[in-house]
Amino acid sequence: MNHDELARRLPVPADRDLPADRKQILKEHLMTELRQADGNKPNRHKSRTRRPGRMAASVGLATAAITATAVAVAMATAGPNPTTLVPRGSPPHTAAQLLAKIADAAASQPAPVVKDSDFTYIRSIDAYSVGTDDNKPSFMEKPHERQIWQSVSNICVDGLLIENGKRTVLSDDPTAVKVIPPLPKSQQLTCPSEGRPGDTTYRLLQSIPTEPKALLAYLIAAKKFTNDDPPTEIGDLIRESIMPPALASALYRLAATLPGATLIPHATTGTGQPGIGIMWTSKSAKQVYQNEWVFDPKTLQFIGEKTFDPTTGKLNGESTIVQRAFVAQAGQVPN
């Protein structure tokens, strides 16, 4: 092979002009690396309430989230199989490309068989910014384990929360759930109930339409219960739940079409598990939030979340999902 032929086959030297789209990709990647290296994190997201309906009304806990502690994360899931690897391909260069891959991975998972009498079980490692009763500045909780059991089919059935060594029975009166704006009596729920946006069951998730226009319309209509925009609504749905594969795929595919997302190529959960992330900047109740979803880079399964205060850039919540499963009763721990 002569020198001219070799030169034609070699990559273009770095000092030559790159196409405009490639320059933009490299620029975004560099800015991402700089944001991650910056301890102040100037453009990140505010902490959100974990379950706007049940958790806010029943126990008043801050949103569950990821935590910076060296905890081994053993992903055991009923529903999406965490050991199923997605096909190899070119790495995503944009948030939309990553969300499309995540949607494909979710669609490939088998739908679990679930009884109405079952409970969803979620175990996570959380730390959140909490306030004080004496008007002192808020502070970050220490990383701790959180376990929650919730009925698959009826929000009126008592669930269970174990957090910081305390057991709390989650009793839910659908008419007492605080929503924004307050609901007229004609829209209030009666028992039994599969729930509403902001306070869902697995059965309700299964009933949400998956056709793109119908799904977007559903999320927009849900604002009367949660006052959230569609990206925030999607985050609330995936946060502490087991997602039906068809709905998970539809939500991520829809998210790929929405503005406000940024790819985070080298994200980590609160426990230090490496992942690939998507940062959302969205509005809710006239407030701006920044929220980072973290996905396993091999399975593309949702494995955690971080939230940041958009004004200060301060991390104020993080949750790493350790285990998801369906169990027969509240308090039962899967093998």
∠ CA(301), CA(303), CA(306), 5° rounding?
135
Distance CA 26, CA 20 (A): 10
Q: Choose among 321, 326, 335, 325: nearest CA to 125.
A: 321
Q: Which amino acid is at 74?
A: A
Query: Which residue bears the tokens 């260069």?
Result: 93
Q: What rounded mean pLDDT belongs to the chain?
A: 77
Residue type present at position 130: V
pLDDT digits (tens, 9 = 90+) for 49-66: 333 333 333 333 333 333
Q: Is 41 left (phi over 0), alpha (psi -120 to 50) or beta?
A: left
pLDDT in tens, 212-240: 999 999 999 999 888 888 999 999 999 99
**How many Cα atoms within 13 Å fall on the side-chain side of residue 87?**
8
Identify whether the C-beta of residue 225 lies closer than 8 Å to the C-beta of residue 195: no
Distance between first and last Cα of the chain? 61
Tens of pLDDT along 162-214?
999 899 999 876 655 555 556 667 667 888 999 999 899 999 999 999 999 99
CB 283 within 8 A of CB 229: yes
pLDDT at 182: 60
